[in-house]
A and B are shown apart, each in its own frame.
Chain A
Amino acid sequence: MDALVALWDGAFGSSYAFWSATLVRATPLVLVGLAVALAFRAGVLNIGAEGQLIAGAIAATALAQWLGAMPRIVTVTAMALGGMMAGAAWAGIAATLRRRYGVLEVISSLMLNFIALALLSWVVRGPLQEPTGIYPQSSTIAASARWPFLLQGQRLHLGFALGLLLATVSRFWLARTASGFRVRVVGAGARAAASAGGVDVARTTFAVFLVSGACAGLAGASEVGGVTWALYEGISPGYGYTAIAVALLARLDPRWVVVSAVFFGALEAGAAAMQRDAGVPAVIAQVFVALTILGVLAGAHVRDRVRARRIVARPEAA
């Protein structure tokens, strides 16, 4: 019971808990959740958002160090774009392996997560290490490279606004544009899309894979620029994996990704408080994420059966 109180207080107990813990945790989940939702919509099983996020974080840190003395608008824009490009490039490896060599993206994007972790472990002890060379982390980025806060006295930063913007744009893209329609058609049935719709399936999935990687890369840049201000090994506590639950719970709809990201953000903020105040391990949050995915799958199964029964009961509806 104490644990549940701590969980609630950590997520919603005060305005600081909500704006500076829950929403700050939700920010990367919105961006990575969008990355996963867009990919899954096209039938691309991108399990590698974690690696793409890390690639984005590394690129953003390097750019922040390099452009440290420039005006804020230049540095922040460069970090965001650089992070997106790095994420897209990292996803591009898996996308190319799928397109050219027919390698299952589930395996390749997962392998790339481990490679990204090794790369991160190396850069924080090598090229990007802080000058004294003692700690495995980068030096803190310059004040002019830090992303602006959205509210006075709260830690909510630009990344969240970008997440909302991207969610709106993705929603519009999927629902209202020709290329968004192609993405949905390919996701619904690749063979039919190619034969009946004349859609270039390989090209569409390749492009979506890159866009997905770019979203995840932006999340990495936003973490470095808005939250940690430095690069270190634990920069992502598995946001790329939680994002799968975020996207599935939102039923791959960009609008609902925002809601479900805030839900999981609250859960993680609450779990951190629960560990601090009630001594309950925060990894419980990961168990909950897994159970959510399984719950959504079971729920979809029940829905399908109900629908099937209705069709059987009233044959004219079929």
Chain B
Amino acid sequence: MIEVILVPFLEAAVRTATPLAFAALGELVAERAGVINLGLEGAIIAGCLGALVASGVGGPVAGFAGGMAAGIALTAVFAFFVVDLRTDQIIAGTAVSMLGLGLTGAIYRGLYGTGGAGLSISTIAPLAIPGLSAIPLIGPALFRQTVPTYALYALVPCLAWWLRSTHAGLALRATGENEEAAEAAGAAPRRIRWGALLVAGAMGGLCGATLVLAQVGTFSEGMSAGRGFIAIAIVVMGRWSAFGTALAALVFGAAFALQYLFQSLGWSLPYQLFIALPYVLTLALLALLRGRATAPAGLGRS
């Protein structure tokens, strides 16, 4: 009995957490290099539209590539402002997000008419891993997902290792802690920040692409729905580590998925409560984690 309710909930939690985790891991890379990337929301929505358009031309693989390219392109604007012009990161990020939301809305309407009911594509199917997906309760949740989720399983340990144990990862972290010291030690902070932001853009785009190609199957204006900003909170909650960030993303995925659980339990609460829940959770957790988190020392300095 309990499985009938819990299995769909856990599946939905992992499914919803996947795009959030991509965005948050990208943000993690940017923040470890000392940049708060508030333009992430723009990269996500650009990724959504890029994926939809590209998949119409060349199928799902082209779709993911298109999403990442769109995310990179938009984040490059942000990188130019904060790395080369050294403008305020928060304001530049907000503007880039607005730019992404506005441009995608305008392009979508331009391409598919003002009605909004544009084209929809068939989403990629989940791939059950034989054996593992048969594990009771958590099997279907973890191993009956789409390809992006499995990519994430590989990405998280790789990123953790890269940050901790490679020379490049060390240079990245040094840049985030103290730019001058990193430069004195022979690193190139400007190049590192550019690189980190392009990775963050690609991951934001991947978040958008996953949303469209694996979950929603179409584009709507503003469909990123604040995921970029939630991802920033997820990084804080994950205490700037790759595994912590992935885990925090899962918590948020569960918060989003709670509405399915309550529906299946037959509880009738205003649905707006569930819409607000992840945002309330963000606030509560940020307040609770005060002081315990260890942010990169140079974060946000422009």
Contacts and interface: CB of A to CB of B under 8 A. Distances in A.
A104 B290 CA distance: 10
A291 B81 CA distance: 12
Contacts of B275: 114, 118, 121
A284 interface: yes
Q: Chain A interface mostly helix, strand, loop or mixed?
A: helix
Contacts of A248: 91
A111 B283 contact: yes
Interface string A99-112: 01111101110111
Contacts of A281: 105-106, 109-110, 114
B95 A290 contact: yes
Interface string A102-136: 11101110111011001101100110000000000
Nearest to B225: A114
Contact of B87 (A45, A118, A121, A300): A300
B287 A297 contact: no
B87 A298 contact: yes
A307 interface: no
A294 interface: yes
B81 A279 contact: no
A101 B91 CA distance: 23
A39 to B, nearest CB: 12
A290 B114 contact: no
Contacts of B114: 275, 279, 281
Interface string B123-160: 00000000000000000000000000000000000000
Contact of B102 (A47, A111, A290, A301): A290
Contact of A45 (B90, B99, B236, B279): B90
Interface range on chain A: under 10, 10 to 19, 20 to 34, or 35 or more? Answer: 35 or more
B184 to A, nearest CB: 22
Given A290-B96, A293-B95, A114 B81 contact: no
A111 B106 contact: no
Residue with the greatest number of chain A CB neighbours at <10 A, chosen from B86, B91, B226: B91
B64 interface: no
Contact of B276 (A47, A106, A114): A114
Interface string B259-274: 0000000000010110
Contacts of B225: 114
A293 B91 contact: yes
Given A114-B276, A287-B102, A102 B291 contact: yes
A143 interface: no
B213 interface: no
B136 to A, nearest CB: 35
Contacts, number: 128
A294 B98 CA distance: 11
Nearest to B84: A301
A241 B102 CA distance: 12
B282 A298 contact: no
Interface string B98-112: 110111011001100
Given A114-B226, A119-B276, A294-B81, A97 B283 contact: yes
Nearest to B285: A103
A244 interface: yes
A286 interface: yes
Residue with the greatest number of chain A CB neighbours at <10 A, chosen from B102, B103, B288: B102
Contacts of B91: 45, 244, 248, 293, 297
Contact of A289 (B38, B102, B276, B291): B102
Given A286-B102, A298-B87, A101 B279 contact: no
Given A103-B283, A245-B95, A283-B221, 9 more contacts: A102-B291, A111-B229, A119-B272, A119-B276, A126-B270, A283-B102, A289-B98, A293-B92, A294-B77
B94 A47 contact: yes
For the complex of A and B, list the 9 residue pairs with the smallest distance between their C-beta atoms, beginning with the closest: A286-B102, A290-B99, A293-B95, A118-B276, A283-B105, A287-B102, A290-B98, A122-B272, A101-B287
B81 A287 contact: no
Contacts of A301: 85-87
Contacts of B106: 281, 283-284, 287
Contacts of A283: 102, 105-106, 109, 221
A88 B91 CA distance: 23
A248 B98 CA distance: 15
A99 to B, nearest CB: 11
A275 B276 CA distance: 32
B117 to A, nearest CB: 15
A41 B96 CA distance: 22
B286 interface: yes
A67 B79 CA distance: 52
B179 to A, nearest CB: 18
Contacts of B181: none
A285 B38 CA distance: 21
A10 to B, nearest CB: 17
B95 A294 contact: yes
Contacts of B105: 281, 283, 286
B286 A122 contact: no
B232 interface: yes
A298 B233 contact: no
Nearest to B95: A293
B61 interface: no
A291 B287 CA distance: 34
B180 interface: no
B103 A287 contact: yes
Contacts of B103: 287
Residue with the greatest number of chain A CB neighbours at <10 A, chosen from B85, B95, B232: B95
Given A101-B287, A121-B272, A107 B282 contact: yes
